Amino acid sequence: MQKNNRRRRRAVAGSGKVSSNSYYTNRISEIFMRSPYQFYNYRQISSQLGISDKSEKELVRKTLEEMYQNHLIVEGNRGKYRLNPIHITVDESKILEGRIDIKQTGKGYLISDNAEIEDVFIAANNLGKALNGDIVRVHLFPARRGKHQEGRVIEVLRRKRELFVGTIQHGKNISYFIPDETSMPVDILIPNKCLKGAKQGQKVVAAITEWDDHAKNPFGEVRQVLGYPGDNNVEMQAILIDQSFALEFSPDARKQAESIPTEIPLSEIQRRKDFRNVFTMTVDPADAKDFDDAISFEKLKDGLYQIGVHIADVSYYISENSPIDKEAYDRATSVYLVDRTYPMLPEKLCNQVCSLRPNEDKLCFSAVFQIDEKGKIYKQWIGKTVINSDYRFSYEQVQDIIEQKKGLYCEEILMLDTIAKALREERIRKGTINFASEEVKFILDEHQKPVGVYIKESKDANKLIEDFMLLANRKVAELIAKADKDKKAKTFVYRVHDKPMEEKIGKFTTFINKLGYSLRTSSRKGFTDSINQLFDEVRGKGSQYMVENLALRTMQRAVYSTNNIGHYGLGFKCYTHFTSPIRRYPDLMVHRLLEAYLNGADSFDSARLEEKCKHCSDMEQRSTEAERNSVKYFQSLYLEDKVGQQFDGIISGVSKWGLWVQLNDTKCEGMVSVKTLTDDFYYYDEENYRYIGQHTGTILQLGMPVRIAVKNVNLAKKQMDFIFVK
């Protein structure tokens, strides 16, 4: 049969009638149909057909040209072809939509909104024109046994961003925009006439203006020149723009803010419950200016106390779809960088009109509870109020009163602390996962340069406020979710946290079993009780960081949704965000919905609210990334003049490229490249998060204490390189 095929090909080749060569056209079409998005040149096609003869290869080339002329295939880079999209029949069951996550190596993964669907591997040559974070459609390849599901991007549905931050490298006619984001697979070509005066090496904001189907690189233009890298203002602005946050409010929003009156009409006060004569305090960081929550305390009879959680009534001042509201929605959250805050609302609102400053009448939305010292609630009321805060405390001041048991308003604060601890114990008993949290803080000099780093601990004062905010958030959610037991619950905005995937729990359980620990996974209560017990057992031990870190990776991310699936981490069936409308747009949405429903309104459109929830969840993630990058920049700046110095740390991550080490005192994190491990040949044990020396048996494992020296600091990339020292 093979000889007959060869004779047939040679006969056709000798005839010179390419147009009648259906044999080659059909065979080549089969190759394109199998991989409809793959480009091939005539040599690659010949190889797949098993052709090595020079004359036959020439016939393949001529056949490809004819197929191109007949619009069966389209040309990409010169001499390379793929199937014409009009001939591609798409099996919708093989199409998946999701967000593309592109790594520094150039490979990507499609992440679906459906947590039950595993990530899809996308090779670098199958990314098409997708950029990191884009929403795309992917065609799934046939599954191969024992292999990760793979696919190819066939369409970009929505770009994550329109603007990109990077540096300019000048060329004769065309300059190059080198993106800051290391996961961006291409540079942008900028015609010199579109540089907007940007100089060599300056950091700029650029936009893609054109990306031809056959071009590897897009063309673009400079939209804004930020300045030179290494300047704090330039770097912080770059971080924000890179995550799609606007640096300034529009003229319309500023104009609206200035027109908002600071005086409260008497008619509005008369419509509200008056708490101005009840002891009320705010507790915030010492440098805070936007006070969006306050606590009132009043002793009642029979061992009861009335505690009010009072939240700034932002919705009174900002109407929906007004200029300020539109910009607040676009931002969806305030962003707290190391040396500055970019607020969700104009300063007049967040720091003056809405801020619950002491000795000023303020409008609030409040949740008020009659409660005993064991945390049992006897009565609750939720509605509009007016307050006048008696005192503005910092967390440090309240902590000192709790520890010393003396000071201003000591009796009230100590009872609030007692009740908060009772609420906390009850939460944990019912299944709240008790994750520890640390916050990196910097000591800055007069030039905003870091001269010290410290870890801010969450103490009783912080937890006191947290527990009452959790109580208010939970009770507001329950009020709506359980309001009409005989009717369908009205559409609401919830803060939800899905259960961990069984596969991740299984891997985590298997790993800690090797360390001598165990988890009960047959029920949610058993799992949360045993994981809290695990945290207690490892506290203060060398394995603490490793266990807590892996447990956190096992969890899913909390998001906003109209679908109330509950909050797994907190153990609440109903939960929302009600307590921070100055800095979180979902809280403002909750206030508006709550007021409408308390006044008897019908249920709102769930599709529109769900769209807003997804946007707010996305912007929250971007804010977290911006804040993380801000910390990385200042950590890099802190270590920049400490190259060669040695520090103690702990292995905080393990990858095939090397090991991440977090320094004990400053929490600065850098990488020890596997290339620097020259004392032995180390192989990567991915399953157990470690490297093992082939000859010495030396183990370098997640959570292990180590000593390093700072090898290099790249401020532009916010990267710190370490090496191990004896």
Least confident of 92-101, 122-131, 144-153, 498-507: 144-153
What is the per-residue pLDDT for 72?
87
CA distances from 153 to 122, 136, 141, 211 (A): 8, 7, 11, 16
CA distance 327 to 344: 8
Please check whether residue 708 is in contact with residue 699, taking contact to mean a CB–CB distance below 8 angstroms: no
Please check whether residue 221 is in contact with residue 194, taking contact to mean a CB–CB distance below 8 angstroms: yes
What is the per-residue pLDDT for 95?
84
Give the tens place of pLDDT for each residue, 292-317.
Answer: 999 999 999 999 999 999 999 999 99
Please check whether residue 295 is in contact with residue 468, taking contact to mean a CB–CB distance below 8 angstroms: yes
Q: Does the pLDDT of residue 678 top 70, yes or no?
A: yes
Give the tens place of pLDDT for each residue, 425-447.
Answer: 999 999 899 888 778 899 999 88
Q: How far is CA 126 from the centre of its chain?
A: 25
Confidence of residue 78 (pLDDT cuts 50, 70, 90): confident
Please check whether residue 387 is in contact with residue 309, taking contact to mean a CB–CB distance below 8 angstroms: no
Question: pLDDT over 90 for what percent of the chain?
Answer: 62
Q: Does the pLDDT of residue 367 top 90, yes or no?
A: yes
Quick one: tokens of 624?
Answer: 């977290």
Confidence of residue 56 (pLDDT cuts 50, 70, 90): confident
**Could you tell me which of 359, 175, 211, 399 has the C-alpha nearest to residue 276?**
359
Q: Which residues, in sequence order, are bridge partners of residue 222?
A: 206
What is the per-residue pLDDT for 485?
60
Confidence of residue 74 (pLDDT cuts 50, 70, 90): confident
Least confident of 7-21, 469-483, 648-662: 7-21
Q: Does the pLDDT of residue 13 top 50, yes or no?
A: no
What is the per-residue pLDDT for 381?
98
Mean per-residue pLDDT of the chain: 90
Confidence of residue 148 (pLDDT cuts 50, 70, 90): confident
Domains defined for the chain, CATH in brackets: 2-87 (1.10.10.10), 92-158 (2.40.50.690), 163-229 (2.40.50.700), 251-495+577-623 (no CATH), 643-724 (2.40.50.140)
CA distance 573 to 188: 48
In this prediction, residues 327-340 reach a mean pLDDT of 96
CA distance 569 to 557: 10
CA distance 190 to 193: 8
H or E element in which residue 636 lies: helix 606-639
Which pairing describes strands 273-274 and 377-388: parallel, antiparallel, or unpaired? parallel
Please check whether residue 317 is in contact with residue 354, taking contact to mean a CB–CB distance below 8 angstroms: yes
Alpha helices (H) along 137-246: 232-242
Q: Which amino acid is at 416?
A: L
Q: 476 or 186: which carries more pLDDT confidence?
A: 476
What is the per-residue pLDDT for 668?
92
Length of the chain in residues, anyone? 726
Instruction: Count the Cβ atoms, other than its own, within 10 Å of residue 247.
Output: 12
Quick one: tokens of 547?
Answer: 């266990």
Please check whether residue 350 is in contact with residue 360, taking contact to mean a CB–CB distance below 8 angstroms: no
What is the per-residue pLDDT for 22?
76
Question: Burial letters for 660-676: b for 16+ Cβ neighbours within 10 Å, e otherwise?
Answer: bbbbeebbbbbbbebee
Give the tens place of pLDDT for each residue, 491-550.
Answer: 999 999 999 988 889 888 988 888 888 899 888 888 999 999 999 888 877 778 788 888
**CA dihedral angle for residue 717, residue 720, residue 723, residue 726, rounded to 10 degrees:** 180
Three-state SS annotation for 78-92: CCCEEECHHHCCCCH
The HSE-up count of residue 508 (CA atoms within 13 Å, CB side) is 23
CA distance 219 to 190: 6
Q: 677 or 457: which carries more pLDDT confidence?
A: 677
The HSE-up count of residue 330 (CA atoms within 13 Å, CB side) is 18
Give the tens place of pLDDT for each residue, 158-199.
Answer: 898 889 999 999 988 899 999 988 888 889 999 999 999 999
**CA dihedral angle for residue 376, residue 381, residue 386, residue 389, rounded to 10 degrees:** 10
CA distance 398 to 660: 37
